[in-house]
Structure 1
Amino acid sequence: MTETTEATGRDSLGGATSPLLGPIRLGIGLLQGLGLYGLHRVSDGPATWGATHPLLFGPLLLVTAFLPIMLLAGVGRLRLVTLAIWTAVAGVTLALLGLHDIARQSAETLQGPPFLSPPVILFSAAALFISHHLVAAADLERRRVPAFSALFDTASKAVVQLALSVGFTGAFWILLHLGAALFKVIGLDFLEDLLRKAWFAIPITFLVFATAVHLTDVRDGLIRGVRTVGLMLLSWLLLVMTVLAAGFVAALPFTGLDGLWETGSATSLVLAAAAALIILINAAYQDGRPDNRPPAVLRVAVRVAAVLLTPLVVIAVWGLALRIGQYGLTPDRIIAGACALVGAAFAAGYGWAALSPFWRKGDWMRPLEPTTIGAAVLAVALILLLFSPVLDPARLSVMDQVARLERGAVTPDKFDYRFLRFESGKAGEAALERLTRSSDEEVARRARDAQSDRDRQNYGPPPSVPVEKPTITSWPSGSALPTTFLPQGARFDDERGQCRAESDCVATSSDLNGDGRAEILLGTPHSLEVFEAQANGTWLAVGYYDASNCKNGAKLIREGGLQIRRSPWPDITIGGLNLDFQSWTDTCPKAPSSTGPGTPIAVGPEQHGRITHF
Structure 2
Amino acid sequence: MDKDFAIPRPLIIILAIFQGITLTLLYQSVEQQVWPGTDSVWLTALITFAISFPLLTYLCVNQGNIKKTLLCVLPFSLLLSLLGAYVGLQQQPSGFFNNGLVLFSFAVTSLIASFKALMYFQHFTSQGTELTQQRELTQISYSSLFTRSWRNFIVFAECVLFVGIFWIILHLGASLFAVLEINIFRELLQESWFVIPTLNLAFGFAIIVFRNITHTADTIATILQTLIKFLLPALTLVSLGFLATLPFTGLTALWETGSGSLLVMWLQALTLFFLNAVYQNESHQRPYPNWLHRLIYLGVALLPIYSVISAYGLWLRIDQYGWTVDRCWAFLVWGLLACFCSGYLFGIIKKRDAWLETLSTVNVRMGLVVLLSVLLVNSPLVNFQRLSADSQISRLNQNLVTIEDFDFYYFDRSLGRQGYLAMQALKTELGDSAPEHVAIIDRMYTERHNTANPLNIDEFKTIISYWPNQASFEEKLDDPDALLEAVYDSETDSEWKSYRGNSYYFLTQDLNDDGQVEFIVITEKNHHTSANLWLKENDEWTSRYMTSFNPNKENFLKTDLEKNKIEIVKPKWNKLRIGDVEFRVSQD
Whether 2:266 is the aligned partner of 1:272: answer: yes
State the one-letter code of the partner of 1:94.
Answer: L
Misfit runs of 4+, over 6 Å: 109-116, 455-460, 482-491, 515-518, 520-524, 558-563
Q: Which residue of 1 aligns with 2:15?
A: 28
Q: Which amino acid aligns with 1:283?
A: A
Return the letter of the residue paired with 1:172: F
Distance 1:278 1:447, change over 3 A: farther
- Deviation, 1:115, is 9.9
Aligned position for 1:200 = 194
Change (3 A) 1:216 1:295: farther
Is 2:40 aligned against 1:49?
A: no
Normalising by the residue count of structure 2, what TM-score does the alignment of the two structures yield? 0.71
Q: Distance in 2 between matches of 1:83 and 1:153?
A: 19
Amino acid at match of 1:350: Y
Query: Mind listing any 5+ residue stretches in structure 1 that lack a counterpart?
Result: 6-11, 465-481, 498-514, 525-557, 564-595, 599-614
Question: Does 199-208 or 179-188 show the bigger shift?
Answer: 179-188
Give, as a single letter, the amino acid of the residue that structure 1 aligns with 2:119: H
User: What SS does structure 2 have at the residue aligned with 1:413?
Assistant: coil
Which residues of 2 match residues 339-358 of structure 1 at below 5 A? 339-354=333-348, 357-358=351-352
- Over residues 234-262 of structure 1, what are the superposed CA-to-partner deviations in whole Å (9 max), with x where a residue is unaligned? 23232343344444444444444344434
Partner of 1:371: 362
- 1:37 corresponds to: 24
Judging changes above 3 Å, is the alpha-carbon distance between structure 1 residues 483 and 242 closer, same or farther for their aligned structure 2 residues? farther
Whether the aligned pair in 2 keeps the contact of 1:105 and 1:424 (CA below 8 Å) is no
Aligned residues of 2:12 and 2:58 also touching (Cα < 8 A): yes
Partner of 1:319: 313
How far off is 1:44 after superposition? 1.7
8 Å Cα contact 2:49/2:77 also seen in 1: yes
Aligned to 1:144: 137
| Residues 316 and 441 (structure 1), Cα distance of their counterparts in 2 relative to 1, 3 Å cut | farther
Q: How does 1:473-512 map to 2 (within 5 A)?
A: 492=527
The answer to whether residue 358 in structure 2 is matched with residue 338 in structure 1 is no
- The Cα of 1:208 is off from its aligned counterpart by 1.6
Which of 377, 386, 390 is the aligned partner of 2:377?
386
Match of 1:91 among 74, 77, 87: 77
Distance of 1:179 and 1:233 partners within structure 2: 39
Partners of 1:63 and 1:561 lie apart in 2 by 73
Kindly state the Cα deviation for residue 299 of structure 1 after the two structures are TM-superposed.
3.4
Shift of 1:77: 7.8
Q: Which one has more relative contact order, counting CA pairs under 8 Å at least 6 apart?
A: 2
- Work out which of the residue numbers 149, 162, 167 in structure 2 matches 1:168: 162
In the alignment, which residue of structure 1 is the partner of 2:93? 107
Q: Secondary structure at the match of 1:43?
A: helix
Matched, 1:432 2:418: no
Measure, in 2, the Cα distance between the counterparts of 1:305 and 1:225.
29
Q: Does 1:118 align with 2:109?
A: no
Q: Post-superposition shift, 1:101?
A: 1.2
What is the deviation of 1:100? 1.0
Output the CA distance in 1 between the equivalents of 2:9 and 2:326.
42
Alpha-carbon shift at residue 341 of structure 1 (Å):
0.9
Matched, 1:67 2:67: no
The match for 2:395 is 404
Question: Aligned-pair RMSD on alpha carbons?
Answer: 4.4
3-state DSSP of counterpart to 2:6: coil
Contact 1:284/1:293 (CA < 8 Å) preserved in 2? yes
Of residues 269, 282, 291, the one that matches 1:288 is: 282
| Residues in 1 aligned to 2:420 and 2:99: alpha-carbon distance in whole angstroms | 22
What is the alpha-carbon distance in structure 1 between the residues aligned to residue 101 and residue 39 of structure 2?
A: 10
Say whether the 8 Å CA contact 2:113–2:374 is kept in structure 1.
yes
Residue 56 (structure 1) shift: 0.8
Determine if the alignment matches structure 1 residue 224 to structure 2 residue 230: no
Give the 3 Å change call, closer, same or farther, for CA 421–488 of structure 1 in structure 2: closer
Contact 2:19–2:197 (8 Å) recurs in 1? yes
1:236 aligned onto 2:230: yes
Structure 1 Cα separation of the partners of residues 116 and 225 of structure 2? 19
Please name the residue that 1:510 is paired with. Answer: none
Given residue 424 of structure 1, which amino acid in structure 2 is its aligned partner? Answer: L
| Corresponding residue for residue 17 of structure 1 | 6
Which deviates more from structure 2 when the two are superposed, residues 383-392 or residues 436-445? 436-445
Change (3 A) 1:242 1:38: farther
C-alpha contact (below 8 Å) 1:58/1:116 kept by paired residues: no
Alignment correspondent of 1:154: 148
Number of residues of Structure 1 aligned to a counterpart in Structure 2: 489
Distance (Å, rounded) in 1 between the aligned partners of 2:153 and 2:240: 29
Question: Which residue, out of 388, 397, 413, partners 2:404?
Answer: 413
Structure 1 residues 516 and 385: alpha-carbon distance in aligned structure 2, compared to 1, 3 A threshold: closer
- State the one-letter code of the partner of 1:52: T
Tell me how far 1:87 sits from its aligned partner: 2.0
Unaligned runs of 5+ in 2: 128-132, 450-496, 504-516, 532-539, 550-574, 584-588
- 1:493-515, CA deviations, whole angstroms, 9 ceiling, x for partnerless residues? 67x79xxxxxxxxxxxxxxxxx9
Report the secondary structure of 1:414's partner residue: coil
State, as a whole percentage, how many aligned pairs show the same letter: 24
- Which string of whole-angstrom CA distances, capped at 9 and with x for unpartnered residues, describes residues 126-153 of structure 1? 1121122123224435223322122112
1:292–1:57 CA distance, 2 compared to 1 (3 A): farther
Report the counterpart of residue 572 of structure 1 in structure 2: none
SS in 2 for 1:76: coil
Deviation at 1:338, TM superposition (A): 1.4
Give the direction of change, closer, same or farther, for the CA distance of 1:449–1:174 in structure 2 (3 Å limit).
closer
Change in 2 beyond 3 A, CA 1:559/1:202? farther
Alpha-carbon separation, structure 1, partners of 2:444 and 2:52? 37
**1:295 positional shift:** 5.9
Q: 1:81 aligns with which of 48, 67, 90?
A: 67
TM-score, with structure 1 as normaliser: 0.68
